[in-house]
A = this chain, B = another copy of it.
Amino acid sequence: MNFIEDLIQLIKEKKSVVSMGLDPRMDNEGEIPQYLIEELKEPNKIITEFNKILIENTYELIPVVKPQIAFYEKYEALGALKETIKFAHKNDLLVILDAKRNDIGSTSEAYAYSLFKNFKADACTINGYLGFDGVKPFLDYKEKGVFILVKTSNPSSKEFQDIFSIKLENISQEITQFEVKAQILKRNYLQMAELIYKWSNDLQKFSNFTNIGAVVGATYPQELKKIREVVINSFILIPGYGAQGAQAKDIKHGFYKNGLGGLVNSSRGIIFAYNKNKQYPPEEFGKAARYEIIDMNKSINAEIGI
C-alpha cells in the first residue's frame, strides 16, 4: 500500500472526500447512546461496538475514518482503538490517526512506531513546531502519510499562527538595522505551509500529491485558499465541518478543479447525528450517521465538482 495513492483511488471509487471522525465521547447526553453504555459497561467494549456500527453503516460512502486518540486515552480504551482500525481496514477504509505528536528525532521515532506499527494507522497528524528532525522519523515509513498542523480550526489559533513573520537568511542573532516593507511579512501559518512544501518537494508523487499533507480548519476559508496555493503537492485535511460551524462553501478552496486535494472531516456532526435528527432514535445512530454522510457528500461534491 501507499497512503496517498490508495486515498486517491478510494476517493474516486466512492466519490467522497469525507472523513468520519471517530471521537468517542460518553460523558454527556447526546454522545455515545446510553443503551450501549448500560449494555456493555466496559469502555473498550462500548467504544468498539459504537465504532463498528458506525463503520458498517457508512463504509461504502467514505474513503477515510479519523479516530482522535485523545478520547481512547481518556477512557483507557486503546484496545478499542486497535479493534476499530482493524475493522476499518477490513471494510475498505483508510485510517488517519489524529494524534498531533511532536518531539525531537529519537523520541519521534518512538511515536511513529507506536502509531504506525502498534496501531497500524495508515497516516497520522503531527505538529511541526520542532522542525524537520521531528518530522523525518514519520516520513521514514515511506508508505504512510502525515498531516502537519498549519492553521487549526479553533478560535485562538490566531494567537500564534497568525503572527506576522519573515524569514531572514544569513542574519546573525543580533540583527543590524534595516527596514522591511510590511507587505513581505507572512503570517506564521504560511511559514509552516512553506516548510511543508519544502519537506515534500523531493518525495514520490501520485497524481502530484506526496504523503505529506497539511491540516487547515474549515472555519478559516480565506486562510485555506492561501495555504492551498503554497502546499501544492499536499492533500489538506480540513476539520471543523458541522459541529464547529463550517459549511460546504467554506471548504471549496482546499480543492483543485479535478476535485482532489482535500479531505473534509466531521466528527460530532456525523457520529452523534442521531442527536439533532430526531427522526432517528438513539438505537439508530448508525443510520443517522449514514444519512448525514449522504448529505455531506451531496453538499460538498456540488461545491468541488467531483
User: What is the minimal beta-carbon distance from A115 to any residue of chain B, in angstroms?
Assistant: 8
Given contacts A70-B107, A177-B181, A180-B182, contact A133 B161 (CB under 8 A): no
Residues in B whose Cβ lies below 8 Å from that of A279: none
Asked whether any CB of chain B lies closer than 8 Å to the CB of A156, the reply is: yes
**For the complex, what is the distance from the CA of A155 to the CA of B133, rounded to whole Å?**
8
Q: Which residues of B contact A185 (CB under 8 A)?
A: 166, 168, 175, 180
A73 sits at the interface (CB 8 A): yes
Find chain B residues with CB under 8 A from A182 CB: 168, 175-180
- What are the 4 A-B residue pairs with the smallest beta carbon separation, nearest first? A131-B156, A165-B165, A131-B159, A70-B110
Among candidates B71, B159, B168, B180, residue contacting A132 with C-beta atoms closer than 8 Å: B159
Work out how many copies of this chain go into the complex: 2
**In the complex, are the beta carbons of B131 and A157 less than 8 A apart?**
yes
CB distance from A254 to the nearest CB of B (A): 18
A131 to B152 Cα, complex, angstroms:
10
Q: Contacting chain B: which of A6-14, A47-55, A188-196?
A: A188-196
Query: Counting CB contacts under 8 A, is A222 at the interface?
Result: yes
Beyond A73-B114, A131-B161, A179-B180, 13 additional pairs, beta carbon < 8 A: A68-B107, A74-B110, A100-B103, A105-B154, A127-B129, A130-B149, A130-B156, A134-B152, A164-B167, A166-B185, A177-B183, A178-B181, A179-B182
Q: Which residues in A have some Cβ–Cβ distance to B below 8 Å? A: 23, 68, 70-71, 73-74, 76, 78, 100-105, 107-108, 110-111, 113-114, 118, 127-134, 149, 152-161, 163-168, 171, 173, 175-183, 185, 188, 191-192, 195, 222
- CB-CB under 8 A for A70 and B156, given A129-B129, A173-B222, A175-B185: no
Expressed in whole angstroms, the minimum distance between the Cβ of A221 and any Cβ of chain B is 12
Q: Is there an interface contact between B161 and A163, defined as CB atoms closer than 8 Å?
A: no
A166 nearest CB neighbor, chain B only: B164
Question: 24 interchain pairs (CB within 8 A)?
Answer: A68-B103, A70-B114, A74-B111, A74-B118, A76-B118, A100-B103, A104-B153, A129-B129, A129-B160, A129-B161, A130-B152, A130-B157, A131-B157, A131-B158, A131-B159, A131-B160, A132-B156, A163-B188, A164-B167, A165-B188, A168-B182, A175-B182, A177-B181, A188-B188
Q: Which residues of B contact A173 (CB under 8 A)?
A: 222
Q: Name the residue among A71, A104, A153, A181 with the largest chain B CB count within 10 angstroms.
A: A104
